[in-house]
């Protein structure tokens, strides 16, 4: 059975992080994604050659690549030809850039009224901040998420870019695109989808916002139940220097923990505050320092207690649950053999996603794609000579 997005053609003009993550999700479920790259653009964060990096770079898997220099009229004309038969265009330029390059929604809509066009930026296409440059750290800051995260050396700890770029941006964009495609099935018309990573992060704070609007105050790290501010929901250090996390928010789970530790006297202090909280947490810390994080997990998890070790990344991909759920997979590469990549997070019973190929090299499919558009070998050679294609 064909995957859910089979037959959907996506033109990906985005560059780093959230846009490519979005199109990886679409490609994993069958969309034909064509990366449109600019000559000379690319970052390899580890000391390997370009082909090895592409083999492991999961975010660009299941895609083809064409290199176009949009400073040239010919390259823009090629894009316009591609847009006529595409279903989706996603771009991550700063507002106004796509219009200047004639790659904007209005241009695409004239060529193809059914196009779903997604603009993915930090602050959105309008508003007082729309033209500000930024990165994940800026988006989670302005959205109020960073101030509620763990404190390190007296200041908010900077997280990985999963919250702003990927959850606030890439996931929101993928959801928006698929929703836009469903709407198009009913109306026959495409539309513009304006994704701002700040908007996405704010929406992820819906619980905290609800508490605040209802009069619950501003959540501060270490002061609320969901930020480690209660004995039953916190991180404790173990004997080996690692950590375990507790999530015993329901009474029965907290009681199970206290009984397993032979400390039923702590049952009344599940949500202790003030000096009582500090005393209970200090006692738990001393208890947890007597065994390693793995020993505690093996001892307590079978007793219906929400406890897990805090894993480092090099431990995650050997964890039995992660392995069982196929969140680390081996993908065939024509030169390197089997390479490991992160798996597909969403599981479908009838139309599962699949990893069909590893990431392409920049421009690897330029000639192939141009030939599909009807360009002859001579025309392709001329375009390469003019610098329109890489």
- Architecture in CATH for domain 9-204+324-386: 3-Layer(aba) Sandwich (3.40)
Q: What is the pLDDT of residue 40?
A: 64
Query: How far, CA to CA in Å, does 370 sit from each of 42, 89, 374?
Result: 22, 18, 6
The β-bridge partners of 235 are: 245
Q: What is the pLDDT of residue 155?
A: 81
Q: What is the pLDDT of residue 349?
A: 96
Length of the chain, in residues: 390
Q: What is the pLDDT of residue 161?
A: 81
Q: What is the pLDDT of residue 41?
A: 62
- 28, 60, 136, 165: the catalytic one is 165
In contact, 170 and 204? CB cutoff 8 Å: no
**What is the signed CA dihedral for 62, 66, 70, 71, rounded to 10 degrees?**
140
Q: What is the pLDDT of residue 324?
A: 98
Q: What is the pLDDT of residue 149?
A: 83
Q: What is the pLDDT of residue 209?
A: 94
Q: What is the pLDDT of residue 138?
A: 95
Active site residue 165: yes
Q: What is the pLDDT of residue 45?
A: 86
Cβ-based neighbour number of residue 100 at 10 Å? 10
In contact, 11 and 87? CB cutoff 8 Å: no
Cβ-based neighbour number of residue 385 at 10 Å? 9
Q: In the CATH scheme, what is the code of domain 225-237+243-309?
A: 3.30.1540.10
Return the exposure string of 7-44: e unless at least 16 CB atoms fall within 10 Å of the residue's CB, then b: ebbbbbbbbebbbbbbbbbbbbbbbbbbbbbbbeeeee
Q: Which residue has the tokens 């093996």?
A: 298
Residue 248 CA to residue 348 CA, distance in Å, equals 31
Residue 222 CA to residue 331 CA, distance in Å, equals 42
Question: What angle is formed at CA 368 by the lines to CA 190 and CA 97, rounded to 5 degrees?
Answer: 45
Q: What is the pLDDT of residue 390?
A: 86
In contact, 331 and 273? CB cutoff 8 Å: no
Q: What is the pLDDT of residue 223?
A: 84
* Pair of tokens at residue 158: 């900077």
pLDDT tens digits, 134-188: 999 999 999 999 988 877 677 888 888 889 999 999 999 999 999 999 999 999 9
For the chain, domain boundaries: 9-204+324-386, 225-237+243-309
**Nearest in space to 62 (alpha carbons), one of 1, 121, 6, 120:** 6
pTM summary value: 0.94
In contact, 344 and 28? CB cutoff 8 Å: yes
Averaged pLDDT in 10-residue chunks for the chain of 390 residues: 96 94 98 91 84 95 97 97 98 96 98 98 97 94 89 79 93 98 98 98 95 90 87 97 97 98 97 96 98 98 97 96 97 95 97 96 96 96 94
């Amino acid at each position: 059975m064909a995957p859910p997005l089979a037959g959907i053609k996506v033109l990906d003009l985005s560059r780093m992080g959230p846009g490519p993550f979005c199109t990886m999700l679409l490609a994993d479920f069958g969309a034909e994604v064509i990366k449109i790259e600019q000559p000379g653009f690319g970052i390899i964060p580890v000391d390997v050659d370009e082909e090895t990096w592409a083999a492991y770079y999961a975010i660009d898997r299941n895609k083809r690549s064409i290199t176009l220099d949009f400073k040239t009229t010919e390259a823009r004309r090629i894009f316009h030809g591609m847009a006529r038969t595409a279903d989706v265009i996603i771009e991550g330029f700063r507002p106004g850039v796509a219009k200047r390059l004639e790659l904007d929604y209005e241009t695409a809509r004239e060529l193809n009224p059914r196009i779903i066009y997604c603009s993915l930026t930090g602050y959105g296409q309008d508003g007082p901040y729309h033209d500000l440059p930024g990165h994940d750290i800026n988006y989670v800051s302005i959205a109020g998420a960073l101030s509620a995260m763990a404190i390190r050396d007296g200041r908010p700890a900077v997280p990985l870019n999963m919250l702003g770029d990927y959850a606030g941006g890439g996931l929101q964009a993928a959801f928006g695109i698929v929703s836009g495609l469903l709407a198009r099935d009913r109306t026959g018309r495409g539309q513009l989808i304006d994704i701002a990573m700040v908007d996405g992060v704010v929406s992820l704070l819906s619980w905290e916002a609800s508490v605040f609007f209802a009069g619950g105050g501003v959540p501060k790290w270490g002061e609320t139940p969901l930020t480690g501010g209660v004995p039953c929901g916190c991180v404790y250090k173990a004997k080996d220097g690692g950590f375990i996390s507790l999530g015993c928010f329901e009474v029965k789970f907290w009681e199970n923990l206290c009984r397993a530790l032979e400390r039923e006297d702590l049952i009344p202090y599940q949500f202790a505050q003030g000096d009582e909280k500090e005393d209970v947490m200090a006692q738990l810390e001393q208890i947890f320092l007597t065994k390693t994080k793995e020993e505690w997990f093996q001892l307590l998890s079978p007793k219906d207690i929400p406890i897990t070790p805090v894993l480092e990344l090099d431990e995650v991909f050997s964890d039995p649950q992660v392995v069982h759920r196929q969140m680390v997979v081996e993908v065939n590469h024509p030169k390197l053999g089997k390479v490991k990549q992160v798996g597909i997070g969403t599981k479908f019973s009838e139309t599962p996603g699949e990893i069909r190929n590893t990431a392409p090299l920049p421009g690897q499919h330029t000639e192939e794609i141009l030939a599909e558009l009807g360009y002859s070998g001579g025309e392709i050679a001329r375009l390469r000579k003019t610098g329109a294609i890489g």
